[in-house]
Amino acid sequence: MNTSKEKTNDKDGFLRLITDRSNLVKLFFLLLSVFLWFLIKLSKEGYDAVIEFPVEYENLPSNSSFREMPPDKIRVNLRASGFDILKYQLQGFRSLKINVSRLDRVDATAERSYWLTNNNLDFIESQLNPDVEVRSITPDTVYFEFSKVITKKIPVDLRLNKNYSRLISIYKEPSLFPDSVTVNGPEKELAELNHIPTEVLELRAEEESLSTRVPLILPDNPDLKFSHSSTEVRVRFTQMTQGSFEVPIEVLQLPEKYDIKIFPETVTLNYHVAVKDYNKVTPPDFRVYANYEDIKEKPEARYLNLAIESYPAFVNYVNFEPKRVEFILTEK
């Protein structure tokens, strides 16, 4: 019981202490004295501290970029007043601007050079308050590796997913606007970039034509600048029909001293073509052949395999039968 009463009395005494007007005045002056003492201390020079500053590099050599980014922060050992140190520690600081063209760099004309930071203390000091003394910088060496910046025109690679029957087809080639992208960036990275793919365009041929904008899949590289991020795709569709021809078989690379007889001498060739182009197709548009070199490599062979060499670009799904023929080879 006595313990409980003692706690209550202590609490009441504390409340009287902090609510008593004279005590409040004393507390105010105590805090004011501490604050003034703190200000006096901060105003004095000669404090040492290590502050980490963000840095930005500017004015790189003409038509160049960094092959690898140098450090984006440096640690500065400085001597300054308490106010300045407190400001840099608590408020942070805007980025220090590193003018690469004005640095005293070693091998400054080469693709690779380096900056001895402690030989350029005044360069950093000039961006701080006038009374701040920069004593040292870490790291003591910053390396710069440059890459030549070029401009390259790269073709767009249209990716399609066709969701329609063989009785419908794209008429001629889809049109792209633009069909290529101008890219500006480091020569080394552009050397490996040969095409820019699009996102997959789903084609359903629900109408006679389609015009839509398709995003490009661009490399996630901040050093590359692209003239476009999408391309307009225009596609025309057409109804397809089937055609058929008897096409003679040619034998290629046959020596003059031989005659060859093949069985059969023609193939039946089937193809699909747009209805509007049906009358454009003729048998000479197709070339089916066998090659004597196959016999030369396999003298015991009884058959020659056939292949098709060419046919019109507007013809689809070309097929022929038979795929091989028998032959008789004789000397003249």
Q: What is the CATH number of the domain that holds 282?
A: 2.170.120.30
Domain check: are 211 and 138 in the same one?
A: no
C-alpha 105: how far from chain center = 31
Q: How many residues does the chain have?
A: 332
Q: Residue 138's beta-bridge partner residues?
A: 75
Quickly list DSSP for 242-285. EEEEEEEEEEES--TTEEEEEESSEEEEEEEEEGGGGGG--GGG
Domain check: are 184 and 223 in the same one?
A: yes
Q: What is the pLDDT of residue 100?
A: 81
Question: Is residue 190 classed exposed, middle or buried when 0-12, 13-18 and 19+ CB atoms within 10 A define those classes?
Answer: buried
Domain check: are 129 and 101 in the same one?
A: yes
Domain check: are 192 and 209 in the same one?
A: yes
Domain check: are 213 and 135 in the same one?
A: no
Q: What is the pLDDT of residue 40?
A: 47
Last residue of a domain, one of 116, 147, 178: 147
Element at 24 (helix H, strand E): helix 21-43
Domain check: are 234 and 259 in the same one?
A: no
Last residue of a domain, one of 147, 169, 192: 147
d(CA 90, CA 88): 6
Domain check: are 164 and 205 in the same one?
A: yes
Question: Is residue 173 classed exposed, middle or buried when 0-12, 13-18 and 19+ CB atoms within 10 A define those classes?
Answer: exposed
Domain check: are 253 and 304 in the same one?
A: yes
Last residue of a domain, one of 91, 117, 147: 147
Q: What is the pLDDT of residue 39?
A: 46
Domain check: are 261 and 322 in the same one?
A: yes
Domain check: are 78 and 126 in the same one?
A: yes
Residue 222, helix vs strand vs coil: coil
Instruction: Please answer whether residues 260 and 331 qualify as being in contact, where contact means their C-beta atoms are separated by less than 8 angstroms.
Output: no
d(CA 83, CA 89): 10
Q: How many domains, the chain? A: 4
Q: What is the pLDDT of residue 107?
A: 64
Whole-Å CA distances, 106 to 110, 111, 144, 203: 9, 11, 10, 58
Domain check: are 128 and 194 in the same one?
A: no
Question: Is residue 286 classed exposed, middle or buried when 0-12, 13-18 and 19+ CB atoms within 10 A define those classes?
Answer: buried
Amino acid at site 277: D
Domain check: are 53 and 120 in the same one?
A: yes
Residue 194, helix vs strand vs coil: coil
Domain extent at residue 69 = 47-147
pTM for the full model?
0.54
pLDDT (tens place) for every residue of the chain, 332 residues total: 445 544 455 555 545 545 555 555 545 444 544 444 444 444 455 677 888 888 888 888 777 777 778 888 888 888 877 666 767 766 555 778 888 877 766 665 566 778 888 887 887 888 887 777 888 888 888 888 888 888 999 999 999 998 877 778 888 889 999 999 999 988 888 888 999 999 999 988 777 888 999 999 999 988 889 999 999 999 998 888 999 999 999 999 888 888 889 999 999 999 999 888 999 999 999 999 999 888 877 777 888 999 998 888 888 889 999 999 999 888 87
| Domain of residue 224, CATH code | 2.170.120.40
Q: What b/e readout covers 74-94, taking b as 16+ CB neighbours within 10 angstroms?
A: bebbbbbbbbbbebbeeeeee
Q: What is the pLDDT of residue 199?
A: 95
d(CA 88, CA 50): 10
Largest Cα span, the chain: 136
